[in-house]
Chain A
């Protein structure tokens, strides 16, 4: 069997996303960010938030849906 190096161990997609965000935010803080970096950082942070709090967003979506429905909205 091939000897595996520690750096070859698989990385979590969430950790990879965090590193990408840290890279963009680092450029923002040291003043080297381009307009593209800014919009990309926003997109990545939104993606990270979606991963971090999916149950919260699911609940908010359900509540918004309930509000749109008068019968359910009244009982909420």
Chain B
């Protein structure tokens, strides 16, 4: 599903030559951490590399999961954003600030239920993701396509879980 937004990243987000990352983190009960289960980056080598896992409340991924709300940073280099969006030690990496300059973390959940995970989009250019103002053009909200995708992912996970619980053959 990430491929849909990656394929249309230019009209949806104005991404062209940016270094981007779209990822889905799912919470695993057994380990009690959020693990990356799918990601799309400009290079396959980066997609296949090891990804950090996050505990609830840890980093913007863990905060979006625990707080059950979106975390959107227009520019993570600003001091107030760094307080919130800098990864905690020892998980912080030297190039985090350069690579993750603009961030959107969206909980994957239906309604007001508990999230099953977090959808994350990052770019290495500031001001790519931002909170739209009340008076701004809602058609230009760069986070809306991510919300739609997060809901679709939540719906699919809920449905497959329902099938498993009632023992219906999904094929």
The answer for the CA separation of A51 and B112 in the assembled complex, in Å, is 20
Residue on A nearest B139 in the bound complex, by CB: A54
Residue on A nearest B73 in the bound complex, by CB: A9
User: A33 interface residue, CB < 8 Å from B?
Assistant: no
Is B112 in contact with A4, judged by CB distance below 8 angstroms? no
Residue on A nearest B140 in the bound complex, by CB: A54
User: B143 interface residue, CB < 8 Å from A?
Assistant: yes
User: A3 interface residue, CB < 8 Å from B?
Assistant: yes
| Residue interface bits A10-28, CB-to-B below 8 A is 1, else 0 | 1111110011001101100
User: A71 interface residue, CB < 8 Å from B?
Assistant: no
Is B111 in contact with A26, judged by CB distance below 8 angstroms? yes
- Given the known interface contacts A11-B70, A12-B72, the answer about A55 and B144 at a Cβ–Cβ threshold of 8 Å is no
Is B134 in contact with A22, judged by CB distance below 8 angstroms? no
Whole-angstrom distance from the CB of A57 to the nearest CB of chain B? 10
Is B144 in contact with A9, judged by CB distance below 8 angstroms? no
The answer for the CA separation of A1 and B80 in the assembled complex, in Å, is 9
The answer for the CA separation of A23 and B84 in the assembled complex, in Å, is 27
User: Which range holds the interface residue count of chain A?
Assistant: 20 to 34
User: B39 interface residue, CB < 8 Å from A?
Assistant: no
Is A19 in contact with B112, judged by CB distance below 8 angstroms? yes
User: A52 interface residue, CB < 8 Å from B?
Assistant: yes
Is B83 in contact with A3, judged by CB distance below 8 angstroms? yes
User: B40 interface residue, CB < 8 Å from A?
Assistant: no
The answer for the CA separation of A6 and B79 in the assembled complex, in Å, is 14
Q: Which of B54-100 contact A (CB under 8 A)?
A: 57, 63, 67, 69-72, 79-80, 83-84
Is B112 in contact with A6, judged by CB distance below 8 angstroms? no
Which residues of the other chain, A, contact B80 by a CB distance below 8 angstroms?
Answer: 1, 4
* 5 closest Cβ pairs, A-B complex: A51-B138, A22-B111, A22-B112, A54-B139, A6-B63
Interface residues of A (CB under 8 A from B): 1, 3-4, 6-7, 9-15, 18-19, 22-23, 25-26, 50-52, 54-55
